[in-house]
């Protein structure tokens, strides 16, 4: 793009992004809530935006990003919501790249950043383990230095879209003799490394996006260590900043509510007072979350927030997504039990998939119970063990 | 812009310089002369009104905050009044700030008659309080079609739920002359006026007025026609946002009072504030207060831009709901002590009952919000 997007007014910027989406966004991807781009679809999306000058809005320009302020990044999110775009994980640009920018060596940046931008390489995040979910620091996958390599053994689980990824960034224990957070390192591996196997796990939405990864004596070169040895916990925490604000956006509840409104009208419940009160509650919940989200975003742009509010909004947004999906089932009556997508009173929708897509939202990105603990610690001081 | 300093909060609430000044002034005055002790004193008074406190608020510039400078007011934007409302909620102030300095003042400020200027000036000085009688039925949201009629200089009809009434209060009445809306000043001592008042849980009196062929002088009419409709709508909308802010202030103060108690009350060897089940509930209540704070701020912004949409209703709904919910859990977490009159939390709960139901309760406002959304959706479709 010839000119600097940062110099555009917010309105001009919004118009330009909207026009580009309208012109270029593939129609078959416009299945909000349910569809998530994966594999070649995701590669194609990154490539499209890269070539058109829209890729990596949050990255600084020196790394090839757009260097946009938070305000314009949020405008991009809003317009994608408006356009009913599919969800995109983009672990490379959103999760991996910021770590490399902060802790990576120049060689690591040179090697990995451009392929992320171009959509040539997709990444996945290997944090959770079978016995380390919310208590992530208890992880047991080990990495032992042998010559110029680290030898990694262990198992990762709930790794989103691992089957489509080219590389993985993972946490492994490199020192068992110290406090659990102090003995963890941050390592990179190619997904085709011998000894690394991926097994997709079928989930309740009928998708195989989540995977198990078995690490059986896999060898990665020592240069794949990011940050200092045993500093992996600190490196991983670099991700817990403002970017988490997206987890508290009212996007999914709002899109689901639009489906609900259509359905309520189609089944002729607009005048039903019980239904009206339930819809009214959900509508107010969404609107007020939107008000909070935008005011927190404004404050974050000025650098003025307590980060605990991001966890609090994550809880609100994900609980609300579930509330709306629950209400959809109630309105659908017997049709709520249908396994396959069908038309309910002429409205085409996949109720089971919306319902099931809403389930894990309260678990991933920090289970809501853990988020409540974190906020409680901030507001009320430490709790009992 | 200054970050607010009254408590360790989430940081996104920010005051401009004027709001910071008003908040400091409110903390200073209400901290010394307001709060639970003041509320307890006012609730024993028959009038439910403390003229000396009102005069003080006049001297501080609060009673005239929205009135034009020409009548001795400060002519400020709504935001300043909302900061004061928040602080009054936080200190359960029984003063008729919203009924008088927000709602009645908005109507007075829209009129250019001599009668309005006289009342406005007395209000700005804190010499008088003024109330607006607009409602005629239970559960009315927004300005209705009036049954109260002014014809041939005589007023007939019934007004209900007239807020913060006391015998020295000035009375404005919204009515119709058969063709258009009128707002008039009525002397309650005039023959044919009957007032029946009831004590409310916030220590104030709410009155029902019957006007039986009451003689009204020509110069008592302050507003008519479109100007009257616009002023009444704005007055009630502003009152609704201010009440939302006041309720959020109340809920927030109650949350902190409850936490203070939980920190010092020990059972089974731990302070109550350390039990996870209670902590999670407190976080959820805090979240609702955050939503309320964001919601009324958005409503204020929308209103000052001259628009009306669902925002006003979501704000009053959220604030009303959390004030009641917070009250319920404040009692629970204070245990049996929370059920005594001696515990100040009870004062907050009593104020919350009144404020959350005045100008429309949570259920009614949620319905209005959805209705506004559906109208807009249909308009766009």
Q: What domains are there in chain B, each with its CATH number?
A: 2-128 (1.10.540.10), 132-226 (2.40.110.10), 232-380 (1.20.140.10)
Pair A261, A176 in one domain: no
Pair A127, A215 in one domain: yes
> Of A217, A78, A204, whose CA–CA distance to A154 is shortest?
A217
> Of B190, B115, B177, whose CA–CA distance to B148 is shortest?
B177
Give the C-alpha separation, B334 to B345, whole Å: 9
Give the C-alpha separation, A281 to B345, whole Å: 28
Pair A180, A251 in one domain: no
pLDDT band for position B142 (cuts 50, 70, 90): very high
Q: Kindly provide the b/e burial profile for residues B54-89, where b requires at least 16 CB atoms within 10 angstroms of the residue's own CB.
A: bebbbebbbbbbbbbeebbbbebebbbbbbbbbbbb
Report the run of H or E that residue A332 belongs to, with start and end.
helix A308-332
The answer to whether B176 touches B217, Cβ cutoff 8 Å, is no
Are the Cβ atoms of B291 and A289 closer than 8 angstroms?
Answer: yes
If one counts the domains in chain A, the total is: 3
With respect to residue A203, please indicate whether it lies within any of the assigned structural domains: yes
With respect to residue A105, please indicate whether it lies within any of the assigned structural domains: no
B-chain residues within 8 Å CB-CB of A381? 263, 273
Are the Cβ atoms of A296 and B10 closer than 8 angstroms?
Answer: yes
> Of A380, A104, A364, whose CA–CA distance to A244 is shortest?
A364
Give the C-alpha separation, A367 to A360, whole Å: 9
Pair A309, A348 in one domain: yes
pLDDT, tens digit (0-9, with 9 covering 90-100), for B230-247: 999 999 999 999 999 999
Question: In A78-148, where do the E strands start and end?
Answer: 123-126, 142-146
The residue among A202, A236, A270 that closes a domain is: A236
Q: Which residues from A are below 8 Å from B when comparing CB atoms?
A: 261, 270, 276-277, 279-281, 283-285, 287-289, 291-292, 294-296, 298-300, 302, 304-306, 308-309, 312, 315-316, 369, 372-373, 375-376, 379-384
The residue among A181, A203, A236 that closes a domain is: A236
With respect to residue A110, please indicate whether it lies within any of the assigned structural domains: no
Are the Cβ atoms of A309 and B263 closer than 8 angstroms?
Answer: no
Pair A225, A266 in one domain: no
Q: How far is CA A36 from CA A158, A246, A362, in A?
A: 16, 16, 18
With respect to residue A99, please indicate whether it lies within any of the assigned structural domains: no
With respect to residue A304, please indicate whether it lies within any of the assigned structural domains: yes
CA distance A131 to chain B (A): 22
Give the C-alpha separation, B348 to B330, whole Å: 10
pLDDT band for position B380 (cuts 50, 70, 90): low
User: Which of B276, B294, B374 is nearest residue A383 as measured by Cβ atoms?
Assistant: B276
With respect to residue A93, please indicate whether it lies within any of the assigned structural domains: no
Q: What Rg value do the Cα atoms of chain B yield, rounded?
A: 21
Domain CATH for A232:
2.40.110.10
Pair A375, A281 in one domain: yes
pLDDT band for position B3 (cuts 50, 70, 90): very low
Amino acid A241: pLDDT: 65
Give the C-alpha separation, A188 to A231, whole Å: 14
> Of B121, B115, B109, whose CA–CA distance to B217 is shortest?
B115
A-chain residues within 8 Å CB-CB of B294? 288, 291-292, 295-296
Give the C-alpha separation, B108 to B124, whole Å: 11
Pair A76, A131 in one domain: no
Pair A248, A290 in one domain: yes
Pair A56, A17 in one domain: yes
With respect to residue A102, please indicate whether it lies within any of the assigned structural domains: no
Name the phi and psi angles at A199, rounded to 5: -125, 110
Total residue count of chain A as it appears in this document: 385
Pair A263, A212 in one domain: no
Q: Which residue has the higher pLDDT, B377 or B17?
A: B17
pLDDT, tens digit (0-9, with 9 covering 90-100), for B329-338: 999 999 999 9
The C-alpha torsion from B348 through B353 and B354 to B355, rounded to 10°, is 70
Pair A298, A327 in one domain: yes
Range of the domain at A368: 242-380
Domain CATH for A284:
1.20.140.10
Helix axes A251-266 and A70-82, enclosed angle (nearest 10)? 20
The residue among A70, A88, A106 that closes a domain is: A88
CA B258 to chain centroid? 24
pLDDT band for position B101 (cuts 50, 70, 90): very high
The answer to whether B230 touches B154, Cβ cutoff 8 Å, is no
pLDDT band for position B6 (cuts 50, 70, 90): very low
Are the Cβ atoms of A379 and B11 closer than 8 angstroms?
Answer: no
CB contact set of A358 (below 8 Å; sequence gap of 6+)? A252, A256, A318, A321, A322, A324, A325
From A67-71, A329-333, B106-110, B122-126, the region with the lowest mean pLDDT = A67-71
Amino acid A237: pLDDT: 82
How high does pLDDT run on average in chain B? 95
B274 close contact with A: CB closer than 8 A:
yes
Pair A285, A317 in one domain: yes
Instruction: Give the residue ranges of chain A where pLDDT is below 70.
Output: 1-3, 240-243, 385
For residue B124, pLDDT beyond 90 = yes
Amino acid B16: pLDDT: 93
Nearest CA in chain B to A311: B287
Q: Which residue has the higher pLDDT, B377 or A326?
A: A326
User: Which of B275, B290, B366 is nearest residue A284 as measured by Cβ atoms?
Assistant: B366
The answer to whether B132 touches B172, Cβ cutoff 8 Å, is yes
> Which residue of A248, A263, A285, A295 is the best one to mutate when testing the B interface, meaning the one whose CB has the most B CBs within 10 A?
A295
CA distance B291 to chain A (A): 6
Give the C-alpha separation, A324 to A319, whole Å: 9
B374 close contact with A: CB closer than 8 A:
yes
Give the C-alpha separation, A88 to A37, whole Å: 5
For residue B225, pLDDT beyond 90 = yes
Amino acid A3: pLDDT: 63
Nearest CA in chain B to A375: B283
B-chain residues within 8 Å CB-CB of A287? 295, 310-311, 314, 369
| Beta carbon pairs, A and B, within 8 Å | 130
> Of B84, B101, B163, whose CA–CA distance to B359 is shortest?
B163
The answer to whether B106 touches B327, Cβ cutoff 8 Å, is no
Amino acid A365: pLDDT: 85
Amino acid B8: pLDDT: 60
Amino acid A348: pLDDT: 78
Give the C-alpha separation, A337 to A339, whole Å: 6
Amino acid A39: pLDDT: 96
User: Which of B12, B14, B366 is nearest residue A280 as measured by Cβ atoms?
Assistant: B366
Name the phi and psi angles at A45, rounded to 5: -60, -45
User: In degrees, to the nearest 5, what angle opens at C-alpha B67 toward C-alphas B144 and B189?
Assistant: 60
Amino acid A385: pLDDT: 61
> Of B186, B184, B205, whose CA–CA distance to B196 is shortest?
B205
B-chain residues within 8 Å CB-CB of A305? 10-12
């Amino acid at each position: 793009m010839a000119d600097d997007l940062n110099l555009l007014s917010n309105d001009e910027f919004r118009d330009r992004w909207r026009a580009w989406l309208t012109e270029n966004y593939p129609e078959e991807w416009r299945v909000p809530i349910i569809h998530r781009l994966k594999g070649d679809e995701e590669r194609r999306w990154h490539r499209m935006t890269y070539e058109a000058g829209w890729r990596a809005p949050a990255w600084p320009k020196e790394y090839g990003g757009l260097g946009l302020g938070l305000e314009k990044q949020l405008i991009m999110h809003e317009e994608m919501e408006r356009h009913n775009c599919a969800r995109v994980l983009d672990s490379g640009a959103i999760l991996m790249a910021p770590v490399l920018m902060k802790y990576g060596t120049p060689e690591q940046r040179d090697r990995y950043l451009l392929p992320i931008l171009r959509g040539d390489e997709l990444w996945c995040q290997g944090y959770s383990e079978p016995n380390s979910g919310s208590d992530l620091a208890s992880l047991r996958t080990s990495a032992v230095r042998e010559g110029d390599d680290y030898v990694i053994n262990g198992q990762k689980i709930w790794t989103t879209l691992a089957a489509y990824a080219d590389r993985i960034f993972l946490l492994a224990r490199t020192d068992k003799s110290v406090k659990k957070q102090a003995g963890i390192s941050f390592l990179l591996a190619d997904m085709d490394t011998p000894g690394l196997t991926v097994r997709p796990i079928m989930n309740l939405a009928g998708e195989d996006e989540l995977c198990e990864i078995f690490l059986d004596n896999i060898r990665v070169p020592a240069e794949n260590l990011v940050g200092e040895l045993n500093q992996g916990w600190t490196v991983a925490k670099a991700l817990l900043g403002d970017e988490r604000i997206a987890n508290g956006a009212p996007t999914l509840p709002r899109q689901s509510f639009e489906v609900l409104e259509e359905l309520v009208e189609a089944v002729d419940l607009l005048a039903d007072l019980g239904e009206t009160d339930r819809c009214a509650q959900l509508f107010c919940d969404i609107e007020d979350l939107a008000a909070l989200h935008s005011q927190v975003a404004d404050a974050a742009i000025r650098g003025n927030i307590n980060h605990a509010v991001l966890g609090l909004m994550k809880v609100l947004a994900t609980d609300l997504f579930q509330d709306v999906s629950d209400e959809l089932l109630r309105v659908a009556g017997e049709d709520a039990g249908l396994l396959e997508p069908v038309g309910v009173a002429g409205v085409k929708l996949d109720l089971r998939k919306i319902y099931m897509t809403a389930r894990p939202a309260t678990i991933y990105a920090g289970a809501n119970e853990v988020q409540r603990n974190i906020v409680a610690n901030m507001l009320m001081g430490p709790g009992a063990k | 812009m200054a970050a607010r300093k009254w408590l360790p909060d989430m940081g996104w609430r920010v005051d401009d310089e004027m709001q910071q000044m008003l908040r400091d002034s409110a903390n200073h005055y209400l901290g010394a002369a307001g709060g639970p002790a003041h509320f307890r004193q006012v609730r024993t008074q028959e009038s439910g009104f403390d003229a000396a406190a009102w005069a003080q608020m006049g001297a501080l510039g609060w009673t005239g905050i929205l009135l034009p400078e020409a009548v001795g007011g400060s002519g400020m934007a709504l935001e300043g009044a909302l900061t004061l409302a928040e602080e009054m909620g936080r200190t359960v102030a029984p003063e008729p700030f919203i009924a008088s300095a927000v709602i009645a003042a908005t109507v007075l400020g829209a009129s250019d008659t001599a009668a309005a200027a006289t009342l406005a000036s007395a209000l700005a000085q804190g010499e008088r309080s003024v109330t607006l009688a607009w409602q005629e039925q239970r559960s009315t949201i927004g300005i209705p079609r009036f049954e109260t009629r002014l014809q041939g200089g005589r007023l007939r009809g019934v007004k209900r739920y007239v807020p913060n009434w006391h015998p020295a209060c000035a009375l404005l009445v919204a009515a119709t002359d058969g063709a258009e809306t009128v707002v008039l000043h009525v002397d309650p001592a005039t023959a044919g006026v009957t007032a029946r008042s009831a004590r409310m849980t916030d220590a104030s009196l709410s009155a029902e007025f019957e006007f039986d062929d009451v003689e009204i002088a020509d110069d008592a009419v302050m507003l008519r026609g479109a100007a009257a409709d616009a002023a009444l709508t704005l007055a009630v909308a502003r009152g609704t946002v201010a009440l939302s802010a006041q309720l959020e202030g109340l809920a927030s103060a109650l949350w902190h009072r409850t936490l203070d108690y939980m920190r010092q009350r020990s059972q089974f060897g731990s302070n109550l504030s350390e039990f996870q089940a209670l902590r999670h509930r407190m976080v959820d209540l805090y979240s609702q207060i955050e939503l309320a704070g964001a919601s009324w701020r958005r409503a204020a912004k929308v209103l000052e831009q001259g628009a009306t949409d669902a925002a006003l209703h979501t704000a009053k709904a959220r604030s009303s709901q959390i004030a009641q919910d917070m009250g319920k859990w404040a009692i629970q977490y204070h245990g049996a002590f929370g059920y005594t009159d001696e515990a100040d939390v009870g004062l907050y709960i009593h104020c919350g009952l009144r404020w959350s139901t005045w100008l429309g309760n949570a259920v009614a406002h949620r319905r209005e919000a959805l209705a506004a959304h559906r109208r807009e959706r249909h308009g766009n479709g």
